[in-house]
C-alpha cells in the first residue's frame, strides 16, 4: 500500500485503497502513544489485524467510538 502515514501538517492521509483494504497501523501507533496501558480502547485496537476491509473498518469503528467516549 502506498500513501499511508502523515502529511507534513501532521494529519492522517488515506492509505491507497485501490486493493480494497485499509491499514490501521498509524491508528495503532496513536493509541500506543496516547492511551494508558489499562485503557480498553488501546487493548481492542491493538488486538485488530493491521489491514482491514472498508466494511470491517466501519463496523469496528462503531465500537471504538463507544470505547473512546467511555475513556473521556
Whether the Cβ atoms of residue 4 and residue 16 lie closer than 8 Å to each other: yes
CB neighbours (10 Å) of residue 51? 15
What is this structure's pTM?
A: 0.71
pLDDT for 13 equals 53
Quick check: 68 pLDDT over 60? yes
The number of domains in the chain is 1
17-62 pLDDT tens trace: 557 899 999 999 999 999 999 999 999 999 999 999 999 999 999 9
pLDDT for 1 equals 40
Residue 35 belongs to domain spanning: 5-71
Q: Burial, 22: exposed, middle or buried (Cβ in 10 Å; 0-12, 13-18, 19+)? A: buried
- N- to C-terminal Cα separation, the chain: 33
Amino acid at each position: 500500500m502506498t500513501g499511508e502515514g502523515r502529511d507534513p501538517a501532521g494529519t492522517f492521509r488515506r492509505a491507497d485503497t485501490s486493493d480494497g483494504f485499509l491499514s490501521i497501523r498509524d491508528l495503532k501507533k496513536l493509541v500506543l502513544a496516547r492511551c494508558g496501558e489499562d485503557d480498553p480502547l488501546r487493548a481492542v485496537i491493538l488486538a485488530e489485524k493491521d489491514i482491514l476491509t472498508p466494511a470491517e473498518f466501519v463496523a469496528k469503528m462503531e465500537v471504538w467510538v463507544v470505547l473512546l467516549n467511555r475513556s473521556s
